[in-house]
């Protein structure tokens, strides 16, 4: 049997879209969708249709129950993630306690500096602090769990003690376990709980939140020759399979966020296709987390700027994510992103002018 997918189109907060469905219970609505289908794995066919026809097509192909459940997952309001209501965009600030991260290599290798920067991010409006002790940049070598823990645990302890919602960015179950004991509330795993066979049961038992990210290959080799039949649908299938593994292990859907993994085993064209089609991932019924901050695709598009000079491109990509209903942004520049998001949200929420504004 083949697979069928639905990507919301024409996302709009205006009254003209009132006849459509809300996207993930949020302010954006959609009244049309692109249906994609294929005999998995393989190339897909696609057709854009009014929403009613698109839903009827899904029901005809996959059955009434599957059609109704996809409609529900696309439109139902998301539960709070790690205690954070998703009624506004949530900002995850990045704290790399590493000597070699691509984006801020070495800046926060000193734990005192990492904690101070975390406090500054909270003051600037970060909702989550993502603490990592292993760089996953292309070509990076793995770090021993003991070394990784030595880097992250003092930082997590200090920030969690101040009431911060902390996530641990790790692929190692032992590091995840120690981080949760130290006060972390979320596991952020770039391997979507495939990197360590103990991580799935650990997260299920801990009852914490988890971010499942897509990566093709491993950091050391992932950018050598990334290949997909259809990048958007292949990433969707992977995240769906990992979500199902979580559900089977006893992790509730409400505890899971999904992330297409921009820059992880993807060419420029792959990254752009994913960014354009992000709304399809709402079909998984989980909040979407997007990490575009300072990534190299920005430099490929605009003059090979070094990571710290990629803020304008990072903001442009983040806002294009918001226009597709992304709920959580993983960023290095918290204050700047908060400002951009607040302006974007205020414009989206403004009532449409029915007459010329009076001066």
Alpha-carbon gap, residue 276 to 174, rounded angstroms: 36
Alpha-carbon gap, residue 91 to 263, rounded angstroms: 19
Neighbour count for residue 14 (Cβ, 10 Å): 11
With CB under 6 A as the contact rule, the residue among 7, 71, 78, 137 that binds ligand HH2 is 137
Considering only the stretches 77-85, 120-128, 257-265, 275-283, report the one whose residues sit in contact with ligand HH2 under the rule CB under 6 A.
257-265
Residue (188 or 216) nearer to ligand HH2, CB: 188
With CB under 6 A as the contact rule, the residue among 190, 233, 286, 326 that binds ligand HH2 is 190
How far CA 53 is from CA of 31, 39, 59, 301, in Å, comes to: 10, 21, 10, 37
Residue (59 or 254) nearer to ligand HH2, CB: 254
Active-site residue, 151 included: no
Phi, psi of 289, rounded to the nearest 5 degrees: -110, 135
Alpha-carbon gap, residue 214 to 225, rounded angstroms: 16
Alpha-carbon gap, residue 318 to 327, rounded angstroms: 11
User: Is 128 within 8 Å of 95 (Cβ atoms)?
Assistant: no
Going by DSSP bridges, is the β-strand pair 128-132/32-38 parallel, antiparallel, or unpaired? unpaired
The answer to the question of residue 131 lying near ligand HH2 (CB under 6 A) is: no
Residue (103 or 216) nearer to ligand HH2, CB: 103
With CB under 6 A as the contact rule, the residue among 170, 175, 188, 199 that binds ligand HH2 is 188
Active-site residue, 295 included: yes
Site for ligand HH2 in 17-46 (CB under 6 A): none
Task: Write each residue from 142 to 171 as x if it is in contact with ligand HH2 (CB under 6 A), else as -, in one continuous string.
Answer: ---------------------------x--
The answer to the question of residue 94 lying near ligand HH2 (CB under 6 A) is: yes
With CB under 6 A as the contact rule, the residue among 44, 129, 251, 262 that binds ligand HH2 is 262
Alpha-carbon gap, residue 255 to 23, rounded angstroms: 19
The site for ligand HH2 (CB under 6 A) is made up of 94, 96, 98, 101-103, 132, 135-137, 169, 188, 190, 211, 213, 259, 261-262, 289, 291, 330
Which residues are marked as active site? Answer: 295, 330
């Amino acid at each position: 049997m083949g697979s069928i997918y639905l990507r919301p189109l024409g996302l709009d907060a205006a009254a003209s879209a009132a006849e459509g469905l809300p996207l993930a219970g949020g302010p954006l609505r959609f009244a049309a969708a692109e249906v994609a289908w294929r005999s998995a794995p393989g190339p897909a066919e696609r057709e854009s249709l009014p929403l009613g026809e698109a839903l009827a097509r899904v029901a005809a192909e996959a059955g009434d129950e599957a059609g109704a459940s996809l409609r529900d997952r696309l439109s139902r309001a998301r539960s709070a993630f790690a205690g954070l209501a998703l009624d506004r965009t949530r900002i995850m600030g990045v704290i790399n306690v590493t000597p070699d991260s691509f984006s801020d290599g070495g800046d926060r290798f000193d734990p005192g500096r990492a904690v101070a920067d975390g406090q500054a991010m909270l003051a600037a409006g970060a909702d989550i602090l993502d603490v990592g002790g292993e760089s996953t940049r292309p070509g990076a070598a793995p770090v021993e769990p003991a070394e990784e823990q030595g880097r992250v645990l003092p930082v997590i302890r200090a920030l969690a003690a101040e009431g911060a919602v902390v996530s641990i960015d790790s692929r190692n179950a032992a590091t995840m376990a120690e981080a949760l004991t130290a006060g972390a509330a979320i596991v952020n795993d770039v391997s979507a709980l495939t990197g360590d066979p103990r991580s799935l049961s650990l997260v299920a038992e801990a009852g914490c939140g988890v971010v499942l990210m897509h990566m093709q290959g491993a950091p050391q080799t992932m950018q050598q020759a990334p290949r997909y039949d259809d990048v958007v649908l292949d990433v969707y299938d992977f995240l769906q399979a990992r979500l199902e593994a979580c559900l089977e292990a006893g992790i509730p859907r409400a505890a899971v966020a999904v992330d297409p993994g921009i820059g992880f085993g993807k060419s420029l064209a792959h990254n752009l296709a994913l960014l354009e089609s992000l709304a399809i991932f709402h079909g998984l019924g989980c909040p979407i987390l997007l990490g575009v901050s300072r990534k190299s695709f920005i430099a490929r598009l605009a003059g090979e700027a070094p990571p710290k000079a990629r803020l304008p491109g990072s903001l442009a990509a983040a806002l294009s994510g918001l226009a597709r209903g992304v709920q959580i942004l993983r960023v290095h520049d918290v204050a700047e992103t908060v400002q951009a998001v607040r302006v974007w949200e205020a414009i989206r929420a403004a009532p449409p002018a029915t007459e010329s504004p009076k001066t």
